[in-house]
């Protein structure tokens, strides 16, 4: 319980998948977490799971539309729920429309950038100064392997994750000297093969030879939030089974 004992954390998009796993892992490591998202029923279920395991958690409804006002409202509500401060912010919420450049319209473009780029930007704007005033904090952003290893579908999504990874380095330069560590995680293919057979196929020939799990990403998020990562600044940590850093042998057996 000692790694994040006494810390408070806000995790966006934490009612399911990677965000949920991070919230559960943070609570298990001793943090008081705010679970946030659009689905109140799923949010309540995550909070109940954490509390059943002896952890501390609260739920705050948030539909991050990219506006500064919505980000500020979430920051304020989470700060109240956490007793007056946010020590750790995880910018996880994001959307992925399976569109090509030819099929993406302007409305889709604006929506994806609003959720994936504007929302974390304005939430960080709302939270980071308070961290500085309190003497320090941690921000963990979620990037993606497709920001650097491109696939035929999802150019719009990939560009937003590239923006998030760039913001990570810029925020580290801006807030790091003031006591706020900023890093990012670049998850690889994390959908289990039984839900999406293509996920397993995309990992053929990699060192891991399998799709990852949300818990794999959460483990890295715990490390980056902990004092063990005190010398880690402005870094994008690849948690992808070697997908981006190692030559993939197409069609190789797992």
CA dihedral of residues 12, 15, 18, 23 (deg, nearest 10): 70
Q: Where are the alpha helices (DSSP H) in 94-154?
A: 106-113, 119-134
Q: Are 210 and 254 in contact (CB under 8 A)?
A: yes
Catalytic annotation present for 157? yes
Give Cα 122 distance to the centre of its chain: 15
Q: Which among 26, 59, 113, 157 is annotated as catalytic?
A: 157
Spell 89-101 as b/e; 16+ CB within 10 A means b. Answer: bbbbbbebeebee
CB atoms within 10 A of CB 16: 15
Closest C-alpha to 119, from 173, 75, 166: 75
- Positions marked catalytic: 157
């Amino acid at each position: 319980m000692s790694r994040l004992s006494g810390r408070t954390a806000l995790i966006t998009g934490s009612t399911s998948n990677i965000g949920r796993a991070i919230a559960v892992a943070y609570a298990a490591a001793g943090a008081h977490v705010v679970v946030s998202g659009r689905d109140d029923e799923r949010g309540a279920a995550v909070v109940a799971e954490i509390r059943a395991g002896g952890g501390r958690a609260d739920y705050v409804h948030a539909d991050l539309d990219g506006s500064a006002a919505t980000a500020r409202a979430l920051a304020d509500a989470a700060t109240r729920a956490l007793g007056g401060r946010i020590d750790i912010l995880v910018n996880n919420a994001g959307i992925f429309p399976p569109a090509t450049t030819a099929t993406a319209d302007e409305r889709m473009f604006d929506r994806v950038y609003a959720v994936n780029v504007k929302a974390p930007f304005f939430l960080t704007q709302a939270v980071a100064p308070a961290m500085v005033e309190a003497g320090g904090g941690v921000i963990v952003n979620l990037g993606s392997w497709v920001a650097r290893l491109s696939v035929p579908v999802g150019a719009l999504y990939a560009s937003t994750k590239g923006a998030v990874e760039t913001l990570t380095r810029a925020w580290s330069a801006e807030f790091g000297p003031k006591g706020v560590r900023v890093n990012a995680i670049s998850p690889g293919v994390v959908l289990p093969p039984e839900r999406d057979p293509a996920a397993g196929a995309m990992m053929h020939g990699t060192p891991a030879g399998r799709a990852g799990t949300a818990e794999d990403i959460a483990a890295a998020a715990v490390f980056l939030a902990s004092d063990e990562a005190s010398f880690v600044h402005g870094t994008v940590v690849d948690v992808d089974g070697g997908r981006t850093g190692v030559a993939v042998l197409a069609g190789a057996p797992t």
